[in-house]
Structure 1
C-alpha cells in the first residue's frame, strides 16, 4: 500500500471457496481498520461485485457484523463513479466475481469508460481479483485469462489458484462427468454414491423430490437454462418443461435476502443470474431447448437460436473472434454454473427428447 500498486489474482472454479475467502479476508482487514496500532488503521477499503444477488448477501452479512459496514460493499460502476466525483483513492479493493466486470462501455448502466477493472485499479492501491473465466456469461463482460493479464500489464501481480472442491460433496467421477458434459461430451452416469446424482424423465417428479429436500434440509431449488421467455416488466413468466409449469424467479430489488436464501422461492425456477455465486444442498436442473443431442458425433448440441437470453450476445461482433463459438462458450459457461451449485444432490431433466433419451440410456 505504501510503495506501488499491487494486484493479487485468486483463480478458482465454482465451489473452491472464493466467496468464503472474500468474506474472511475483508473481515480481518476491517477488524484491523479499527485497530489504531495496525498498518490498516483508518484505511478506505471496499468489496465490489457486479451481481445484485451477491451484493444483497454481502450487505446482509455486514448488517449482522460488528466490524463490517454496508457502505463498504458496492457495485463496480457505483464505486468508479463515486471515486471520480469525489477524487478519492481507496486503499484495498476486493472484486468478487471479477469475471462479471464490464469489458466495454455500457451507458445504460452508467459506465462510460472501456474496462471496469482498469478503472478500479486507477482508484485503488491494492486490488484483489477473484476470477474464474469459466463463469463469463455475457459478451459485454467477456474475459479470458489472456485478457486479464493484458489488462494488468506491468503492475506488481501475484496469482494464486484455489483447487480444493468444498461445495460438491461427490466423488471425482461426478465432478468429471459435469466437466465433460459442459465440454459437450456425454459419459456414463457415475456409480451410485452418497451424492445423489440422477437423470430424471419426469420434470414434476423432479420438482416434488426437490420440495422434499427443501422441507428436510432447506436450500433446495429448481433451476433452468435460459431457454424460456422472461422479461423485466413486472409480469410473471413460466418455465414449461414436460408436465411442469412453474414461474421464473420474480425480480424484487427491494428484497433484502438473496433469491437462494428466501424460502418462498421454492415455488419458482431460478436462472443462472439469480443463483451464480450461491450454494444449494439439492438442485433440480431443467435443460431447455437450446441443448440437444447429435447421435452421429455422440455429443451435446448447443443451439444459440433457442437461447432466450439474446442480450448476453450484445456486442459479440466487436470481440473479433468466431461468433458462433463465442456464443457457445457463453451458453456452456452458464450451464456449468447451474450444474455446480449443489452440495448433496443433483437432478437433471432435459426438454429435448433426443437428449433426454441419451441421458437416460447413460
Structure 2
C-alpha cells in the first residue's frame, strides 16, 4: 500500500540552493541539484551568507547529483561549473562520476538542432554547421507581427505557444496595470507588446499569449512552439556574431556589475558578456518542443540565419570594407 504524504511533507523535499550553508556534514542522504549552472556563490537576500553553494551542498549530503549545462548560464551571478564540483568533491574525499546526457526530449529530441544552434551562435564548433534533421520546425520571419500571428495560431491548439524576447527593452509596465503602456516597441513595424505581467501564471494563463516572456521567466519552461524576438544586443557584421552588452535594458540585472568589470578588465568583461548574451538566446531558442520562429532586429543577423538554414551553407558576404567590419566588431566596447 502506498503511503499518503501531506503537501507540507512533499513541499519540504524541494529547497532553494541557498539554504545549506548552516547544514551539518552529511546531514542529508541525497541532494539532487537541477540547473546546477545557476548555483551562486553567496546565499541570502543580500548575498552575504555562506561561502559557496556548490561546496555547501556537497558538504551537506552523502551523495550529490548535479545536472549542469554551462551553455545555460545567463547571468553574471551564475557560478555553478563542473570544475568547482570536482574540486569541492575531492576536498570532501568524495568519488566523482561524470556522465553525459546523450539525448533529451527537448526540441523533439533533436540533438542536431541544439548543436546547430551552438554553431550558429558561435558558442562552439559542432558537426552540425550545415543544418539539422528537419523533424523540428524552425522559421525566420521578416516582421515581428508575423511572428506573433504564428504563435497566436499555434496557441489555439492547446495554449502551449508563447512569444519571448531578448531583454533589450526596459520593463516599464512592471507593477502597473495600464493596458495602453507597452515595453517592447519596434516602430518600423508598428509592433508593441508588454513583458509578462505575472511570473507565476504567464506560462499557463490563457491571456498570457498577449505578453512576452524574457529569459528570467522562461528558463526552465517548455512550450510546443516559441517565437523569439532577438534584440539588438546581438548582430552579424558580415563575418561573425557580435554581442553588445550596452544594448541590454537597464532593468535587466543579469549583467549587473559588467561596467565595473569592463573598467577593470576590458577583455574579460567582453568575454563574460558575450557568453551570457549568446547563452540567453540559445536558451530562448530551445524553449519550443516542436518549433521555433525567430525575428531579428538586426537585418544582417536575419539574413545570416536564413542562409544557415540552407543545408549547403555559404556565408553571407557584405560589401563593407575590412576597416568598417573591424569597427563594427569593436562597437560592443562602448559604454552607455
Q: Which band: TM-score by shorter chain?
A: 0.7 to 0.9
Cα distance in 2, alignment partners of residues 147 and 336 from structure 1 = 24
Shift in Å, 1:190: 4.4
1:115 maps to which residue?
Answer: 52
Change (3 A) 1:193 1:238: same
Q: Write the mapping of 1:86-165 to structure 2, written as runs, cut at 5 A.
A: 89-103=27-41, 105=42, 108-109=45-46, 111-153=48-90, 154-165=93-104
1:246 to 193, 198, 201: 193
Does 1:358 pair with 2:304? yes
What secondary structure does 1:213 align onto? helix
Considering fraction of residues, name the structure with more strand: 1
Aligned CA-pair RMSD: 3.4
SS of 2:273's partner is: helix
Point out where structure 2 has 5 or more consecutive residues left out of the alignment. Answer: 309-336
Q: Distance in 2 between matches of 1:284 and 1:140?
A: 27
Residue 212 of structure 1: CA displacement? 0.8
Q: Please report the TM-score for the alignment, with normalisation by the length of structure 2.
A: 0.75
TM-score, length basis structure 1 = 0.70
Greater relative CO (CA pairs within 8 A, separation 6+): 1
- Aligned counterpart, 1:55: none
| TM-aligned CA deviation for residue 341 of structure 1 | 1.2
Q: Which of 9, 15, 20 matches 1:80?
A: 20
Cα contact 2:103–2:111 (8 A) shared by 1: no
Q: Contact (CA 8 Å) 1:283, 1:341: kept in 2 or not? A: yes
Alignment CA distance shift 1:170-1:300 (3 Å):
farther
| Aligned 8 A contact 1:202 1:243 in 2 | no
Q: Give 1:70's aligned residue.
A: 11
**What is the CA-CA distance between 1:165 and the residue it aligns to?**
3.0
Change (3 A) 1:360 1:128: closer
Map of 2:162 onto structure 1: 221
Distance 1:107 1:72, change over 3 A: closer
Report the alpha carbon displacement of residue 313 of structure 1 after superposing the two structures with TM.
2.9
> How many residue pairs align between the two structures?
292
Deviation string for 1:92-146 (max 9, x for gaps)? 211111111102x355345512211111222222221111111112222233332
In structure 2, what is the Cα distance between the partners aligned to 1:231 and 1:160?
Answer: 43
Task: Tell me, yes or no, if structure 1 residue 204 matches structure 2 residue 145.
Answer: yes
* Partner in structure 2 of residue 8 of structure 1: none
Is the 1:239–1:247 Cα contact (8 Å) retained in structure 2? yes
